[in-house]
Amino acid sequence: MIRRLKYHIKLNYELFPLLDDHILKACATSLDNRSSTADDLEAARELLRALRKEKEGATPRFAALERAYFALRGGYYLWWGDYDQGKALVEEGLARAAETGDVALQADCLQHLCYYAIQREDGELLCSAASRLSEAAERCGDASLGAMARRFSGMSLLFLGKFEEAERLLQESVAQFRRMEYLDSPYTLQVLAGNCYLGEIRYRTGRVREALSVFCRCVVECEEHGLYRGLCLFCSNAALAAFDLGEDETAKEYLRKARHYFEGSELRRANAVGLALLALFALREGKDDEAISFWESAENLCVSLRKKSWVAACCRIRDVLERELEAGHLSGQRKNTTTLNAFSANCRTFKEVCGDD
């Protein structure tokens, strides 16, 4: 049961699951739904409790199942922003795995910590966890995991503002995954993930036109290979870059793609920046209720995940939105006081969630 749950969560929740193209294309649609995942996790916990009562708790097999469960449930919580509980479970799983020499589980736990650090854009934590993950990958003899760890190391430097070093490591990660393709083990999604963060370096260093080009290529390759994972991120990044360049029609085109993806399944967590832009364009089209709904969804993601770049981008978008509302520039130059009041009442100030835990 735990093995099935692990595969299900990796396949349906991780943004860039470490699975090759053959597996990803064979599983082109999401399975079950979020509530059924929570039910399955709870059922696994009840099963472990029952086994413990039957004195199975003293066996090595039970201990292995329990620490695997801690890692699995913790990673799931981290993905949805329940950081306190998620970190506690993952760190407990990691400690037990280290005590027993379970290198494979150590690698799983370290991946979860890397994902957590990426969501928070915590460069220091990501640097440490990625280094340990690289060591675990070497001990496991897992080349694909090592290439992923290299990308995480590059991302840690990106978050720390060390862009030249970050670019070098990201390019090395992409090259490692490209080499695997020659051995008939293609990891297209991992290549695109590396390229996406190379695009983010360009965006953060003011080369917005170059960044847009990179993000657009990621979208095209994703679609050409029939891989939907990552599309929401790629499309939202492209939309933001186009918006910053004043190319609203291009931005709306990519937002339509992003919306089609994340509305296709409740398992697919949306992107706060994409949602904020959808809110802005909906307001410009006079779709006030839809705009408020998008904005509240963006706000909720920012509050739960506290991803720094999302918060910063949403602050900028809200400034534009409020200026246009106050000036009465929306929907035929009308001044929509009701909508402005609704935003003031229902939307928290994004800057309030920039702080640390």
In a domain, 247, yes or no: no
Does residue 97 form part of some domain? yes
pLDDT at position 137: 97
**Whole-angstrom Cα distance, residue 170 to residue 41?**
34
The DSSP output letter for 59 is S
Please name the residues in contact with 25: beta carbons below 8 A apart, sequence gap of 6 or more. 225, 226, 227
Residue 30 placed within a domain: yes
How many domains would you assign to the chain?
2
**Residue 357's pLDDT is what?**
44
- Which DSSP letter does residue 352 get? G
Whole-prediction pTM? 0.88
Per-residue pLDDT of the chain (357 residues; tens, 9 = 90+): 677 777 777 777 788 999 999 888 877 555 555 667 777 777 777 777 777 777 655 678 788 888 888 898 999 899 888 999 999 999 999 999 999 999 999 999 999 999 999 999 999 999 999 999 999 999 999 999 999 999 999 999 999 999 999 999 999 999 999 999 888 889 999 999 999 999 999 999 999 999 999 999 999 999 999 888 889 999 999 999 999 999 999 999 999 999 888 776 554 568 999 999 999 999 889 898 899 889 989 988 898 888 999 999 999 998 898 888 777 655 455 555 666 666 655 554 554 554 444
The pLDDT score that the predictor gives to residue 339 is 63
On whether residue 157 sits in a domain, the answer given is: no
Residues 6+ positions from 223 with CB-CB distance below 8 Å: 231
* The last residue of a domain, from among 61, 90, 120: 120
Last residue of a domain, one of 70, 87, 120: 120
Continuous segment of H or E residues that includes residue 269: none
Q: What is the pLDDT of residue 269?
A: 67
Whether 88 is covered by a domain: the verdict is yes
Q: Is residue 299 included in any domain, yes or no?
A: yes
Whole-number pLDDT of residue 204: 97
Are the beta carbons of 288 and 339 closer than 8 angstroms? yes
Long-range contacts of 197-202 (CB under 8 A, 24+ apart): 197/151, 197/154, 197/155, 197/158, 197/166, 197/170, 198/167, 198/170, 198/171, 198/174, 199/237, 200/158, 200/237, 201/158, 201/163, 201/166, 201/167, 201/170
DSSP annotation of 22: H
Q: Is residue 158 part of a domain?
A: no
DSSP letter for each residue of 281-349: HHHHTT-HHHHHHHHHHHHHHHHHH--HHHHHHHHHHHHHHHHHHHHT-BTTTB--HHHHHHHHHH---
Which tokens sit at 149?
């760890």
Spatial separation of the C-alpha atoms in residues 312 and 319, rounded to whole Å: 11
Task: Give residue 330's pLDDT.
Answer: 52
- Last-in-domain residue among 97, 120, 143: 120
* Angle value at C-alpha 82, between 86 and 28, nearest 5 degrees: 85
Domain limits at 27? 1-120
Bridge partners, 330 (sequence order): 334
> Does a structural domain hold residue 165?
no
pLDDT of the residue at 23: 85
Give the model's pLDDT for residue 246: 96
